Amino acid sequence: MKSKPHDHQQRNLLTEVRDSGPLDLPPKRLSNRNPRSRTDDLRSRTSRWKLKRLQTALAFFYLLLSPALSIADETALLQHYLTNRVKIPAGTYTVDPNTGLWIPSNSTVDLRNVVINVLPTHEPLYGVINVYASTNVTIIKGVVNGERHFHEGESGEWGMGIMILHSHNINVLGTTIYDCWGDGIYISGFSTDITITSATCDGNRRQGISVISGSNILIRSCTCSNTSGTLPSCGINIEPNRGDSVSNCTISDCTIFNNAGGGIQAGVSNADIGESFVRGTRIYSNRIFNNGCINPPHSTIHISNCENTQVLRNILRNNTGTGIGLFDSTNTVIHSNIAKEMKSTSNMSDAGILLSFDNQTAVYNNRITDNQGWGIFVWHSNSFIGKNTLARNLKGNTNIPSQPAKNQELKE
């Protein structure tokens, strides 16, 4: 929106706030002057400090009340708060994703009672909130309403709610991200020590959360739901690009449902084997239900070309396709999971647990019941399978062939 001529005073105020430096604090120590000049100096400098605080408050007041202020002004005002590490006042803001918001190092960004609406754009790639080459950043709460339903173009899949690149020691706590053109949260650039806790990613187009490269990443107690629009359409996806790697990523205590492409996917594409790696992934204590299957064979928890993976104590119910699928992976433990009421596709190997061309796999103490496909389906697997509960699986509790699996103690 363009400014009206009579609003020049409001715009000048915003310009002054944007161009000003960090807020000056009243001094703790005074220069050696006589008592009267010290008092005058304190009053003068305190007055200047109060004036800058008043300018910030007035800018926010005008921002809310004046429809003549442009989206660029609104985005710039938020960036002013972030750059100067000033708490963003409660309210609803509109942000231009082509500019985005950028969080500097050593920042705690408190977004409680803050809603960010994303301006529609034709750009295929953007980040609404960007953490780039930053350290020691915490983002608390806040809501990001994406623009996927109003997006002005058709290309691309990389419009992200929160984008974390080349950063270290980043925490996202309780933030909600809706309806982004790409992912709710995107982590890449070999970022390290990233923790995403109690975030909600709902209705995003490509992924709820994507992990492309990095190490020591924890995704805990998050909700990822209703992802659809472009592949893979998973709740959480660990998928390095060529030359990237992901190590020590943990996904725990999350609720993942109604995603078109599945719940959790981790792996390297066949074209990138030997150039990209996923190692040390732990997936445990998640509730995963009502997820779809866009490209059979596909799995609710889909592991491919990974090393040293643990899948423990997850509950999978009423998903489509295979429950836990393991492909071309080494040194995997699948233990104490529940997979039930899985809906079969046209794929003949749909199962509660599917093993294919895996090596050094242990599958035990799982409960696999009431599925339309197999209980456990094995194909060219070097695995130990034992002490699982298998019952009422429509195609059979197991197809276990004589080669080359090492199977023990299968029972109903």
pLDDT digits (tens, 9 = 90+) for 393-411: 999 999 886 444 444 444 4
CA 73 to CA 123: how far, in whole Å?
20
Summarised one tens digit per residue, pLDDT across range 72-113 is: 788 999 999 999 999 999 999 999 999 999 999 999 999 999
**What is the pLDDT averaged over residues 370-387?**
93
Kindly report the backbone phi and psi dihedral angles of residue 100, in degrees, each rounded to the nearest multiple of 5, phi listed first: 70, 175
8 A C-beta contact, residue 326 and residue 303:
yes
Residue 346 CB-density burial (10 A; 0-12 exposed, 13-18 middle, 19+ buried): exposed
pLDDT at 8: 36
pLDDT at 405: 43
8 A C-beta contact, residue 123 and residue 101:
no
Of all residues in the chain, the percent with pLDDT exceeding 70 is: 79
**What is the pLDDT averaged over residues 311-336?**
97
Q: Which of 61-70, 143-152, 189-198, 241-250 is predicted with the least confidence, judged by mean pLDDT?
A: 61-70
Angle at 210 between CA 209 and CA 211, to 5 degrees: 125
Residue 318: name the closest of 244, 250, 369, 267 by CA.
Answer: 369
pLDDT at 294: 80
8 A C-beta contact, residue 167 and residue 190:
no
Q: Which residues contact 170 (CB under 8 A, 6 or more apart)?
A: 131, 134, 137, 138, 164, 191, 193, 194, 195
CA 256 to CA 234: how far, in whole Å?
9
pLDDT at 60: 52
pLDDT at 346: 87
CATH number 2.160.20.10 given to 97-407: yes
Summarised one tens digit per residue, pLDDT across range 203-212 is: 999 999 999 9
Q: What is the mean pLDDT of the chain?
A: 85
**What is the pLDDT averaged over residues 267-296?**
94
pTM over the 0.75 mark: yes
Q: How confident is the model at residue 298 (pLDDT cuts 50, 70, 90)?
A: confident
Q: How confident is the model at residue 295 (pLDDT cuts 50, 70, 90)?
A: confident
Backbone torsion region of residue 19, taken as left when φ is above 0, otherwise alpha when ψ lies between -120 and 50, otherwise beta? alpha
Residue 222: name the closest of 252, 247, 249 by CA.
Answer: 252
* Sign (positive or negative) of CA dihedral 308, 241, 235, 103: positive
pLDDT at 243: 96
Q: Where are the domains of the chain?
A: 1-96, 97-407
Q: Is the pLDDT at 68 greater than 50, yes or no?
A: no
Helices 35-65 + 71-83 axis angle, to 10: 140
Q: Which of 166-175, 191-200, 345-354 is predicted with the least confidence, judged by mean pLDDT?
A: 345-354
Q: Which residues contact 370 (CB under 8 A, 6 or more apart)?
A: 340, 341, 391, 392, 393
pLDDT at 72: 73
Summarised one tens digit per residue, pLDDT across range 3-61 is: 333 333 333 333 333 343 333 333 333 334 444 454 455 555 555 555 545 545 554 55
CA 72 to CA 93: how far, in whole Å?
11
CA 391 to CA 388: how far, in whole Å?
10
pLDDT at 73: 80
